[in-house]
Amino acid sequence: MASSTAADGTKKLDIVIVGGSLGGLCAGVALKSLGHDITILERNATPLLHDQGAGIVAGGDTLAFFKRYDRCGRSFAVSSQRRQYLNLNGDVVHREDMVQNMTSWDLVYHILRANFDGTESVYCHVPPPVEAHGNARHLHGHLVTGVREADNGQVCVEYTTHDGTTSTILADLVVGADGPSSTLRRILQPDVQRTYAGYVALRGTVPETRVSQSTRAAFTERFTFFHCPGVQILAYLIPGEQGTLEPGRRLINFVYYTNFPSASLDDPSPALAELMTDVDGVRHRITMPPGKTDMGAWEKQRVSARQRLPPQFAEIVCATTKPFVQAITDVISPENEFLGGKVVLIGDALAGFRPHTVASTSQAAFDAMILADMVAGKVERKEWKRETMAYARTVQRRGVQMGQHSQHDDLPLEDHIHDRNVASIPRQDEVWPDWATRGLD
C-alpha cells in the first residue's frame, strides 16, 4: 500500500504540472524528491520533446539546481573563460575574464527526464530509484483545457488527449510550467497577452571542426559578442551530439538578433511572413523549428550576415545547415498564484524573459527550487511569492530595456557591455527595486 506521507512526514500531495519542458521537469524533479506524487501533462503528442537545437548559458541557479537534485552525475557544460566583443573587422575591442558554463537544451532535457521518470537515452545513465521519492508520471499528448476548484477542496484539471478523449485529474497543487504561451495562464488570466518586440533571434549551430581555425579560436573558451545598430549577435561552444564534451565534437552555438518590423505576429509584415514560412509553405507564428526554415529565405540572411557581421560571425551564420527562428516577445503575469494558492505559475509561464538576458533556464531552476522549499515548509509562502515575483518583474523589464538599447537605439559599445554585466549579477546578490516588490509585502 502506498504511503500517505511524504519524506518529511507531512501529507503526501498529488501534484499536477502542466508542461513537460525544462521548467516543468525542474519542478517535477524537485517536488518528487520531497516524496510527493507528480503527474506532468505535456501537450506535445510525442513521448519526448524534440531537440530544440539551442544552446543554454547555465547560470548560478541552474548549477545550484543540478548540484541539489541531479543524480545522473555526468558533466553537462562547456566552460567559457572570457567574454569578448568584436568590431566589424573581427578584432577584439573589449575583453573581461569571466567564467561561465554553456550547455545545450537537449542534454539538459534528457538529464532531467532521467531524474524525473527514468527515461533512458544516450545522454546519461538513469539513476536508481529512491524509496523516499514520490511516484512520477509523464503523460504526453495531454492538452489542458480547464482548471477549477473541486467539491472536495482539490483542483480539477480538465484535459483533452491527442486522440480526442476528454477527461479530468484531481490535484492538491497545480503548477503551470507550460511556457510563455501558457495555456493555463490564458485560462486564468485571459487578458494577459504575448506581444511581439519587433525583432527575431536567428539561431543555429555548427560543428567546431567545420569552420576556419581563426573562427574556431574566436569561440573556444570565449563568450563572444558583436553590436551594431539594429543587430546583436553572440556565440559560444556547447556540447555536441549526444551531449559529448569532447574537444573537436562540440558545437558553436549562435544567437543573431535582427529587426523585422511588424505590427503583430498575427498580421506579419511581408518580410517577417516570408521568414516564418517553412519549406512546406506553413507559416509559423513564433518559432520556426530547426530544419524547417526555407533555405531561399535563409539565403537572404546569409547575404545580410556577410555585409553586417564580423567575418567570424558571418562564417558560422552561413555555415549552419539547420537554422531556426524565434520571434522575440514579451509577456508577464501580474499574479503567480490562484484558487487560494492551489494553482501557481512558474518560469516562462509566469514571465517570458527575452533570451539575451540568459536567464530563462535559471528562472525555471530557481522557481522550482524555491517552490519545493515552500512546499516543504523551509520557506514561508510570503517569501516565496516576494522572491519569485520580484525576480520575474525585474528580469523581464531588464530584458525589454536591453532589447530597446540593442535593437532600436544607437548606443556606444560601453552601454551594451554595462547591460550585459548588470544581467550577469547573481540572483542572490540582486537588490530588488521598490517597484518590483510593490504589493508583495
At residue 359, the pLDDT reads 83
Last residue of some domain: 314, 329, 344? 329
- Assign residue 181 a region (left: φ > 0; alpha: ψ between -120 and 50; beta: otherwise): alpha
Look at the block and give the residue holding cell 552525475: 73
Nearest to 17 by CA among 349, 351, 352, 354: 349
Query: Which uninterrupted H or E stretch holds 186?
Result: helix 183-188
Residue 1: pLDDT band by 50, 70, 90 thresholds?
very low
User: Is 224 a residue whose pLDDT tops 80?
Assistant: yes
**Residues 155, 29: one domain?**
yes
Q: State percent of the chain over pLDDT 70.
A: 98
The number of helix segments (H) and strand segments (E) in the chain equals 13, 19
The SS3 call for residue 199 is strand
Q: In this structure, is residue 26 part of a structural domain?
A: yes
**Residues 171, 184: one domain?**
yes
Helices 22-32, 60-69: axis angle to 10 degrees equals: 40
Residue-range definition of the domain harbouring residue 401: 14-71+106-193+330-437
At residue 291, the pLDDT reads 87
CB atoms within 10 A of CB 183: 21
At residue 10, the pLDDT reads 75
CB 351 within 8 A of CB 395: yes
**Residues 119, 33: one domain?**
yes
At residue 358, the pLDDT reads 67
**Residues 370, 419: one domain?**
yes
- As a whole number, mean pLDDT of residues 421-430 equals 92
Residue 435: pLDDT band by 50, 70, 90 thresholds?
very high
CB atoms within 10 A of CB 269: 13
One DSSP character per residue, 328-353 reads EEEEE-S-SEEGGGTEEE-HHHHEE-
- Chain centroid to Cα 219, Å, comes to 22
At residue 3, the pLDDT reads 57
**Residues 116, 204: one domain?**
no
- As a whole number, mean pLDDT of residues 253-262 equals 97
Q: State percent of the chain over pLDDT 90.
A: 94
Q: In this structure, is residue 77 part of a structural domain?
A: no
**Residues 376, 233: one domain?**
no
Last residue of some domain: 295, 329, 363? 329
- In whole angstroms, give the CA distance from residue 173 to residue 9: 18
At residue 299, the pLDDT reads 96
- As a whole number, mean pLDDT of residues 206-235 equals 97
CB 180 within 8 A of CB 274: no
Distances (CA, A) of 178 to 223, 261, 262: 30, 27, 26
Residue pLDDT, tens place only, 310-360: 999 999 999 999 999 999 999 999 999 999 999 999 999 999 999 876 688
**Residues 28, 145: one domain?**
yes
> How many domains is the chain partitioned into structurally?
2
- In whole angstroms, give the CA distance from residue 257 to residue 354: 11
Residue pLDDT, tens place only, 287-316: 999 989 999 999 999 999 999 999 999 999
Residue 277's CATH number: 3.30.9.60
- Assign residue 66 a region (left: φ > 0; alpha: ψ between -120 and 50; beta: otherwise): alpha
Residue 117's CATH number: 3.50.50.60
Q: In this structure, is residue 87 part of a structural domain?
A: no
At residue 191, the pLDDT reads 97
The SS3 call for residue 285 is coil
Strand segments, DSSP code E, in 142-249 are 142-149, 155-161, 166-171, 173-176, 195-207, 222-228, 231-238
Last residue of some domain: 271, 306, 329? 329
Nearest to 32 by CA among 60, 50, 6, 62: 6
- In whole angstroms, give the CA distance from residue 135 to residue 117: 8
**Residues 324, 393: one domain?**
no
CB half-sphere exposure, 74, CA atoms < 13 A: 21
Question: Average pLDDT over the chain, rounded to whole?
Answer: 95
At residue 355, the pLDDT reads 85
Buried/exposed 18-43: b ≥16 CB within 10 Å, e otherwise: bbbbbbbbbbbbbbbbbbbbbbbbbb
CB 85 within 8 A of CB 93: yes
User: Is 397 a residue whose pLDDT tops 80?
Assistant: yes
Strands 92-104 and 78-86: antiparallel
Residue pLDDT, tens place only, 3-51: 577 766 678 999 999 999 999 999 999 999 999 999 999 999 999 988 6
